[in-house]
Amino acid sequence: MTTVLIIGAGDMGERVADGLAAGGRVRRVLVAGRSAARDAVAATVASARDCLVEAVRLDASRQDEVAELLTATRPDLIVHCASLRSPWAMSGRTDPAARAVAAAGLALRLPYQLPLVLSVMRAVRDAGYTGPVANLSFPDVTGPVLARLGLAPTVGLGNAAMMQLRVRAALRAAHPERTVPLIRVLGHHSQLLDVMQARRPADPERLCRVHLGEDGRRDDSLAYQAPPLAPGLRYNVVTGAAVVPVLEALLPGAGPLRHSTAAPAGLPGGYPVRIVDGSVALDLPPGLSEADAIAFNERMAAGDGVDRIDADGTVHFAEACHQAVAGIAPDLAHPLALDDLAARAARLDSVLA
């Protein structure tokens, strides 16, 4: 019985559960979370799909509790969708604190995005779990932090995959009679908003990179030609469509998949990948070296507020991030060490209250 454990019962957790249940390749879905939302999600998906769906109470911040669940259930795939606060939590807010934190880049909110996936990956190690783990919690940055600790998930989800779908939509609209060619996207989460809003950056160095066909012909403009979508929860529809093929390719017995997605093996940003027998490898186009691809995404990370990540996982924030919060709470942009996550989350809470 193919079993998938989904940690996090928010909007994306429900979309992932429904997408996997609808695909017919998963027999059992475990929806794990701390709130009662897990029960509603499980009941909804079980009612709508021909799949066994169970709700499991889990506090993902408790490493021992996660390890015990992994030992008891031994899932074929773990999908991490949980965070302490959703990236959309500030939607609609126009107060100075919210504007400043948003302008600083999503990395400033790592204290909300990193703790739970860190706990889960430590539990994966403790339980001796060797199956694939896919991470949807800001993988372009949490992945590299976890990689510094030897705890990188197998792959991240979303972001570059969403850009790939936008390119596909543009190609289909322009040439509905043609078969869509192989699409390979190199891009960072920091570039996603421009892609989703069809807002092409003036600086060509800021464009995500789009390669078409086996020869990798460049056409970066395609990422900005699909109909614009204003920021909001509607993005989760695209995220769901982007991640389910990756998750299905990680299941036992799955066929190979060529796709673009975030943070394979904890690399910064997103890359073209090839998934075969549950293993994920880079699938870079001709002429693009792994070193150059990583360097590109490390530069793009500044758009999310990241300057660099130390060997111990400490995150240093970019100058623009410091400037954004200088007038409300400059200490929010001090280097963020893993031991300081709880205190920094509390400080963010107080600033945003």
**Mean pLDDT calculated for residue range 204-210:** 97
Which structural domain range is residue 264 located in? 160-301
- Cα-Cα-Cα-Cα torsion 206, 212, 217, 219, nearest 10 degrees, comes to -40
Pair 131, 195 in one domain: no
Task: Summarize pLDDT for 80-112 with one digit per residue, the tens.
Answer: 999 999 999 999 999 999 999 999 999 999 999
pTM: 0.97
Question: What pLDDT does 1 receive?
Answer: 79
| Residue 30: predicted pLDDT | 98
In a domain, 195, yes or no: yes
The last residue of one of the domains, among 156, 185, 204, is 156
The verdict on 247 and 225 lying in the same domain is yes
Report d(CA 263, CA 55) in Å as an integer.
28
Number of other CB atoms surrounding residue 176 within 10 Å: 7
How many distinct structural domains can be found in the chain? 2
- On whether both 111 and 166 belong to a single domain, the answer is no
Residues 145 and 164 in one domain: no
pLDDT of 11-63, one tens digit each? Answer: 999 999 999 999 999 999 999 999 999 999 999 999 999 999 999 999 999 99
CA distance 8 to 138: 14
- Work out the end-to-end distance of the chain between its first and last CA atoms, rounded to an integer number of angstroms: 46
Considering 125, 156, 187, which residue would you say is the last residue of a domain? 156
Residues 192 and 72 in one domain: no
pLDDT in tens, 322-348: 999 999 999 999 999 999 999 999 999
Among 106, 128, 156, residue at a domain's last position? 156
Across 166-192, average pLDDT: 97
Q: Is 204 a domain residue?
A: yes
Domain harbouring 270, CATH code: 3.90.110
